[in-house]
Amino acid sequence: MNTDIKPASDYPLPDLVRILNRGFENYFVPIELNVSSFLTMLRKDGIDLNASRVLLIAEEPAGLALIARRGWTSRLAAMGIAEELRGVGAGSWLMEKLIQEAHERGDREMVLEVIEQNDPAVRLYQKHGFQTVRRLIGLTHRGKDAEEEHPDILHEMDLRELGCMISQYGLPDLPWQLSAESIAQMNPPARAYCRDQAHVAISNPDAEHLVIWSLLVEPGARGRNRGTHMLKRLIATHAGKTWHVPAVFPEQLGKVFEGAGFEREELSQWQMRLVLVPAS
C-alpha cells in the first residue's frame, strides 16, 4: 500500500468528522459525530490536532488517530480505519508511527481504552506492547421510579472543585475520561453534587438521558455505602430519567452502582498502558 500520514491540523473540522465517522462504520459502537460534538470531545479530552494523524492510502484519507496529551502522557483517544482497509495491516502501520512519534516527543507513556470484545483491536495493541491495567464497565438505570419519596437535598458544587478533590482522593491511574483534569474541564449544563462526603458529576440534568461522569467518596467515609446512597438520592431527585454509566468505570465500582439498581451492560473495555520511558 502507498501509505502516509499527515497532521490532523492540516484538515478542516468537517473533513475530520467525516473521516472519523467513516473509520467507525459498522464498528462495535458506531460513532456518528457532528462538528459541535467533535469540538466538545476535543476540549474535554485534551486532544491535540497537531499530534493527531490522518492516515492516507494512495494519497486519500482512509483513517484518523486522535491523540490527547497531558504532560508526559499521551492517549490514543480514537483510531478509526475505513472498513475496507481493516485487517490488512493499515492499523498496525499507523500504530507504529504513533508510538514512534510519542517517543520523539519525549512522552513517557501512552494509554488507551479498547472494547474487550473487539479481539482484533485488543491483539493489535498487545502486539505493540500495551499491557492491561484493568477492566472497565458500563451500567444503565432504565428510568425506574424513584425509591425515595422525599430525597435528601443534594448540594451543588463547582465541577472544578470536584476535579481538585479527585486529584486528592481518587485513584492515581483513573481512566482519562474520569481523571481530575477531565472533570475539571467540564462546564454547565453538566452538574456536580455532594452529600455526606460523597460527590458525583453528571451531564445536563434537563436531558432525558443522563450520564454519570464521576463518583467519589472521601476516604474517611468509605465502607458505609455512601456512594450507593448518593446514587439513590440522585435518581430520586431527577425521577423518571434514564441513567448511563459509560464503560470507562473500573470494574471494582460495579457493586456500588448495582446497589442503586443499575444493571451492567454487555460490552466492557480494557484500560491499557504502554511504558515508553521507565520511571527513574
**Closest residue by Cα to residue 127 from 151, 102, 95:** 95
- Yes or no: say if 248 and 179 are a contact pair by the CB < 8 Å rule: no
**Residue 279: per-residue pLDDT:** 63
Instruction: Report how far residue 263's alpha carbon sits from residue 261's, in angstroms, rounded to the nearest whole number.
Output: 7
Share of the chain above pLDDT 90, in %: 88
**Torsions phi, psi of 29, nearest 5?**
-125, 95
Contact (Cβ atoms closer than 8 angstroms) between residue 225 and residue 258: no
Answer whether residue 11 shows pLDDT above 70: yes
Nearest to 190 by CA among 236, 235, 159, 166: 159
- Rounded mean pLDDT of 104-116? 97
User: pLDDT by residue (tens digit) across 193-240?
Assistant: 999 999 999 999 999 999 999 999 999 999 999 999 999 999 999 989
Q: What is the mean pLDDT of residues 94-114?
A: 97
pLDDT digits (tens, 9 = 90+) for 71-92: 999 999 999 999 999 989 999 9
Q: Where are the domains of the chain?
A: 3-107, 138-268
- The CATH T-level fold of domain 3-107 is Aminopeptidase (3.40.630)
For the sheet with 73-81, list strands across it. Answer: 3-7, 53-57, 60-70, 73-81, 109-115, 263-275, 131-142, 242-250, 209-217, 198-202, 191-195, 155-157
Per-residue pLDDT of 13-30, as tens digits, reads 999 999 999 999 998 887
Residue whose cell numbers read 449544563? 189
* Rounded CA separation 131/264 (Å): 24
Q: At the topology level of CATH, where does 138-268 sit? A: Aminopeptidase (3.40.630)
252/261 Cα distance (integer angstroms): 16
Closest CA to 69 of 181, 157, 166, 172: 181
